[in-house]
Amino acid sequence: MESIKIKLVKIPQELIDAKDIRRQIFQKEQGISEELDFDGKDKKSHHVVVYYKDRPIGTTRIRYLEDNKVAKIERTSVLQEFRGKDIGKQIIEYALDFLNKKGIEKVILNAQEHAKGFYEKLGFKQEGEIFKEASIPHVKMYKELNKK
């Protein structure tokens, strides 16, 4: 898709944009509580936001675990009208490239069950059984990164 920009959040307005996307998708569309979505971990995380002609349309959050050797990708979301256009794939690829350059060895995420195949195409593997998070079936997934 032309005219899209994927970037690491650097200024307050970009974080506001990322949170607005999460509100629309997780809170309005999926009925997840604001307290669960905005869990107090945003300030210690990196955020990626995607713009289409200056309109925010997608986001993800990256948190660091285990002495900064493992990162967790969370809150990946794309506005409904932009789904099916590889925006989610580009967000994850951007995040993985960023994490690989930082020397992260492993990336984990909790994928909503319906998105498992999406993440498998990007090289993630399922770990464990299906579980409920925010009353939605999820599966834990991981991907080892190349050491550079």
15 occurs within a structural domain: yes
Structure tokens at 25: 């998708």
What would the mean pLDDT of 45-71 be, rounded to a whole number? Answer: 94
Rounded to 5 degrees, φ, ψ at 26 are -75, -45
Among 66-70, 86-90, 126-130, where is mean pLDDT lowest?
A: 66-70
76 occurs within a structural domain: yes
137 occurs within a structural domain: no
CB 98 within 8 A of CB 64: no
Number of domains the chain contains: 1
Indicate if the pLDDT at residue 28 is higher than 60.
Answer: yes
For CA atoms 54, 71, 25, 28, the dihedral sign is negative
Indicate if the pLDDT at residue 142 is higher than 90.
Answer: yes
118 occurs within a structural domain: no
Indicate if the pLDDT at residue 74 is higher than 80.
Answer: yes
146 occurs within a structural domain: no
Indicate if the pLDDT at residue 55 is higher than 80.
Answer: yes
Amino acid making up residue 20: D
Domain with 37 in it: 4-107
Indicate if the pLDDT at residue 17 is higher than 80.
Answer: yes
Nearest to 4 by CA among 41, 54, 42: 54
- Using CB atoms within 10 A of its CB, is residue 49 exposed (0-12), middle (13-18) or buried (19+)? buried
Determine what percent of the chain is predicted with pLDDT higher than 90: 91
93 occurs within a structural domain: yes
What would the mean pLDDT of 11-26 be, rounded to a whole number? Answer: 97
Output the pTM of the full model: 0.93
113 occurs within a structural domain: no
pLDDT at position 61 is: 98
First to last CA, the chain: 30
Q: Looking at the DSSP assignment, which residues form a beta bridge with residue 110?
A: 140
pLDDT tens-place string over residues 34-44 = 999 999 999 99
Structure tokens at 54: 């200056």
For the domain that residue 40 is a member of, what is the CATH number? 3.40.630.30
CB 90 within 8 A of CB 50: yes
23 occurs within a structural domain: yes
Rounded to 5 degrees, φ, ψ at 46 are -95, 150
Indicate if the pLDDT at residue 115 is higher than 90.
Answer: yes
Mean pLDDT (the chain) is 94
